[in-house]
Structure 1
Amino acid sequence: MALPEVPSIDRLQRRLQATDYSRWRSMVEATGGCAHPVRLSGHWMITDKTTGTVLTSPDGNPAMRSGHLFAPCGNRRESVCPACSDRYAADAFHLVRAGMTGGTKGVPDTVADKPRLFVTLTAPSFGPVHNRRTSANGKQVPCRCGRYHHEHDPAIGQPIDAAAYDYTGHVLWQAHAGKLWNRFTIYLRRHLARAAGISVKEFKDHARLSYAKVAEFQRRGIIHFHAVIRLDGPEGASDATPTWATPELLTDAIHAAHAATAVEAPEIGGRDRLLVWGEQIDIRPIRAVDADQVEDDHGTITDDRLSSYVAKYATKGTGKSEAADRPIRSREHIELLTASEHHKQIMRTAWDLGDLEELDGLNLRRWCHMLAFRGHFLSKSQRYSTTFKQIRGDRQTWRLEQNLDELGVTADSIAVVNNWEMTGVGHHSPEEKELALAIAERKRQARQDRYANERKD
């Protein structure tokens, strides 16, 4: 007996027509379209501190809520959650920009007059890779392999001879990159003190080195550091820079520290390795924001666009073409990734080296999915500017004040009751995730359009 055919129903359409869709959509909208929301169950209310009664909003409804809601996952990677990545990028923009231009986030606008440089520190070569090379006049020249590569050629960044590529050196350098940066800042202070004619111990009484740096993965699977470096007075951004501190002196000190910095890697198989920066280093002065480009005709960086540039790389991190979004659980897991053979080999090397007793302190297996990079993608010195915690706290305070204004009360007269428990993470179906991503993309496009119109105005 033939069974009747089941009509084909579009799952997206079925979710859109569900009775709870409006409620679900409002929860997703509140997170900005988070792809992996934290599902919470509980209640909140705003009560009068004296009487304990629940306040009433202007529309006549009580200022309380119970049931379920979503909280953003907070993942900064665009490949994991575009909505939370956008929020992180916006916070990173304000954090970096506050330290360059001042006048916001508690940083005085006088920082714009201090010596400020945009510095790029690169990794050394561990073997020739395919790339797009250009001559001095901008004309493209053949790669070492003899071919011309187009911009999106997947071969770019891959070793020309994988058998001769130093994967062990690559992994060890990557695992020590954070330590290499720390050693660089120590040498930088030493050279600045020497140039100023004071002792290293006295340097902290005369000046302070402030910076914000971001790590960017290159297509060969190694990171470069981009950093905004600023010279302050001993108390930080609000303190006047000493008269001897000039951009030229800071530039010379950076060159000297770059050449002197080295970290000794643990001995493996009787071989010692001295880890250093790559020969390429880029140092450019930063001038006040009064132009439309990141770089002007004289190679000078401007504040506004540079902040966006740094924020972009802070959220870019490692995409699917470079590494994995989640920790690696086994060597076999690496083979299932949709990464290039070169990046898989980096992870295999990190996984195998992670089994060596002399490298226990590097936690290479834990950071295998990051191609052995163990640091933060965006970090800063203590007094460069504000903090992510402060920015998020200010946002929460602003939202609370908006709610209190609507209720016509002040913070000292009310009590906020919050009682929520986590019930799960993520959407219940691929269709819900797809709809959430569409909401996030719509919001992103609306922001970009609004920003473009504001720039024109």
Structure 2
Amino acid sequence: MTQPDDSKALPPGVAALLARAADPGFESWHRGIVRLGGCTNPVHLVGSAIVADAVTGEVLRSYVPEDDGGRLLVACGNRRAAVCPTCSRVYRADTYHLVRAGLVGGKEVPAQVGGHPRVFATLTAPGFGPVHTRREKDGQVRACRPRKASDCCAHGAPAGCHVRHGEDDPRLGEPLCPRCYDYAGAVLWQAHAGQLWHRFVMELRRELARRIGVPREEFGEAARLSYAKVAEYQRRGLVHFHAVVRLDGPEGPGAPPPGWATTDLLARAVRCAVGLVWLPALGADVVGRRVLRFGTQIDVRPISSSDTGERLTSAAVAGYIAKYATKGAESAGAVDRRIRHARDLATLPVRDHTLRMIGTCWWLGGLVPFEPLRLRQWAHMLGYRGHFSTKSRRYSTTLTALRQARAEHRAEQQRAALGLADRPVITVGQWRYAGRGYGPEAALVAASVREGGGGHGA
């Protein structure tokens, strides 16, 4: 009697994987998937590469992918944890080392930088209307917004909220009255947030120059201001900035700061400079004249010169910034992809407040005065169009340098495996884009790598 074919009852991916396992090239194919560390959306490349002697030009090795129809799979490299947890971990680790090197040295940054004045500053967005929030005092959760029960807004909605919200309450960040909330102002602030940060840095240099009694144009001869910052979305959908700000000597991190440069002076200058920054918004004829500023909630704290016993250490600050460098607008309930058509707004899986932010971006983005802001292009980011993580040129190493070092390390390992470790060689490749993603069987292998905690093979 014929035995039943159990493979017919298996899910398609499992059946395909079992069939692939019988293929003579399974091991090579499997290694290629595992090497990606569980990347969720790899890039497919087609082409070839050669390894040649750097002196004679002799071709020592040639490589043409044989698996996946002659395609080479490489990790997507996306920084957002919501898109690719694996690649975001690599990005987060790189950001951590970049920030920490600017605090304690390393990665070609001298160790004496650890003695320079440094502060950790948080710059917030202003208020555009009361929202539900979680308040704590002395370890106790307090009422959201205590008001008299009879207090109402102009639209008849309660002006207060006596609920003690839990950390996962979906109402957090939602306006008490959506009709009172200034959505146009919020979206315009988002669109200008990057420019506000740029003006803050310039204003901080002016403020430091004023405090030491030198003209602004001569400040660079006395000291250098360096920073690394990241943008984080709050629950109300607006970004705020976390930044390390450091004072060096005029030649950069290797030069001792002048005698007047103290952490206290830097902290006071940061607080003052934030209040001096303003920017007129576009479209005054449409939505009224608006002057955009940072919020009044400003937190500036000194960073400890050592990683022992202090509350705010270099490692803690680096970890904090690296954590938020891998998050996007999806952490505020938005979507992780661009919105192409107005009809797509009707099916977005977002809460009402987020949908109103996106809808305001779409509305303003279709008006001529707001064309320079490209609000429709950035509607999925709730209007924010700046970089999530940036740094000044001399703060520390760069992400490019860290990636290059990792690539060189992999190349050394490959040369050793080929028996070419002691020979000067160069690798020349010709590759072109050929798609993204996995087949069903490859997706199963990648998922098992992620569940097993695997990382990139570098």
For the criterion TM > 0.5, the same-fold answer is yes
State the match for 2:99 in structure 1: 96
Q: Which residue of 1 aligns with 2:221?
A: 205
Task: Return the offset for 1:291.
Answer: 3.1
| 2:35 equivalent among 30, 42, 65 | 30
Shift in CA distance, 101/400, structure 1 to aligned 2, threshold 3 Å = same
Matched, 1:18 2:19: yes
- 1:408 is displaced (CA, Å) by 4.8
Residue from 298, 318, 326 that aligns with 1:281: 298
Q: What is the identity, as a one-letter code, of the residue corresponding to 2:387? A: H
Kindly tell me: are residues 50 and 199 of structure 1, through their superposed partners in 2, closer, same or farther at Cα, counting changes over 3 Å? Answer: closer
Give 2:210's match in structure 1, choosing from 178, 191, 194.
Answer: 194
Q: In the aligned structure 1, how far is the partner of 2:426 from the partner of 2:186?
A: 55
SS at match of 2:179: helix
Distance 1:370 1:411 in 2: 50
1:268 CA drift (Å): 3.8
Q: Residues 103-149 of structure 1, C-alpha deviation per residue, up to 9 Å, x if partnerless?
A: x11100011000000000111111111111123x2321111211121
> How far apart are residue 219 of structure 1 and its match?
0.7
**Alpha carbons 1:43, 1:64 under 8 Å: kept:** yes
CA distance in 2, matches of 1:39, 1:54: 25
Distance 1:315 1:217, change over 3 A: same
Structure 2 counterpart of 1:388, one-letter code: L
- How far apart in 1 are the matches of 2:400 and 2:381? 25
8 Å Cα contact 2:231/2:242 also seen in 1? yes
Shift of 1:54: 5.0
Query: How many aligned residue pairs are there?
Result: 429
Q: Which residue type is aligned with residue 297 of structure 2?
A: Q
Cα drift, residue 334 of structure 1:
2.2
Letter of the structure 2 residue corresponding to residue 43 of structure 1:
S
Matched with 2:74 is: 71
Q: 2:36–2:455: 8 Å Cα contact kept in structure 1?
A: no
Instruction: Quote the sequence identity (%).
Output: 44
1: distance between equivalents of 2:347 and 2:341?
Answer: 11
Equivalent residue letter for 1:169:
G
1:8 equivalent in alignment to 2:9: yes
- How does 1:381-420 map onto structure 2 within 5 Å? 381-409=392-420, 413-420=424-431
Residue of 23, 43, 49 corresponding to 1:44? 49
In the TM superposition, what is the alpha-carbon distance from 1:411 to its structure 2 partner? 7.8
2:368 counterpart of 1:357: yes
The equivalent position to 1:249 in structure 2, one of 265, 270, 277, is 265
Map 1:166-315; keep pairs closer than 5 Å: 166-266=182-282, 267-269=284-286, 271-291=288-308, 296=310, 300-315=311-326
Q: Which moved more, 1:417-426 or 1:279-288?
A: 417-426
Amino acid at match of 1:139: Q
Residues 194-219 of structure 1: per-residue CA shift (max 9 Å, x gap): 11111101101111110000000001
Gaps of 5+ in 2: 146-160
SS state of the match for residue 397, structure 1?
helix
Q: Match of 1:29, as an amino acid?
A: V
RMSD of aligned residue pairs (Cα, Å):
2.4
Aligned residue in 2 for 1:440? 450
Q: CA deviation at 1:11?
A: 2.6
CA distance in 1, matches of 2:456, 2:37: 12
Could you tell me which residue of structure 2 aligns to residue 59 of structure 1?
Answer: none
Q: Which amino acid aligns with 1:316?
A: K
The letter of the residue matching 2:72 is L
Structure 1: state its 5+ residue gaps: 56-61, 448-457
Which one is further off, 416-425 or 257-266?
416-425
Q: Aligned equivalents of 1:420 and 1:47: distance in 2? A: 17
Amino acid at match of 2:109: V
SS of structure 2 residue aligned to 1:17: helix
Question: Could you tell me how far apart the structure 2 residues matched to 1:334 and 1:320 are?
Answer: 19
Alpha-carbon contact 1:44-1:66 (below 8 Å) kept: no
Task: Name the CA shift for 1:412/1:446 in 2 (closer, same or farther; >3 Å).
Answer: closer
- Structure 1 residue 140 corresponds to structure 2 residue 156: no
In the other structure, the counterpart of 1:58 is none
| 1:212 alignment partner, SS class | strand
Q: CA deviation at 1:436?
A: 1.8
Deviation, structure 1 residue 169: 0.5
The answer for the alignment partner of 1:326 in structure 2 is 337
1:162 to 178, 188, 198: 178
Alpha-carbon distance in 2 for matches of 1:85, 1:356: 36
* Alignment partner, residue 453 of structure 1: none
Please say if residues 54 and 64 of structure 1, whose CA atoms lie closer than 8 Å, have aligned partners that are also in contact: no
Q: TM-score, normalised by structure 2?
A: 0.88
Q: Distance in 2 between matches of 1:353 and 1:265?
A: 13
Q: Secondary structure at the match of 2:83?
A: coil
CA deviation profile, 1:279-304 (whole Å, cap 9, x unmatched): 11111111134237xxx4xxx41011
Deviation of 1:401 after TM superposition, in Å, equals: 2.3
TM-score for the superposition, normalised by structure 1: 0.88
Q: Distance in 1 between matches of 2:393 and 2:448?
A: 38
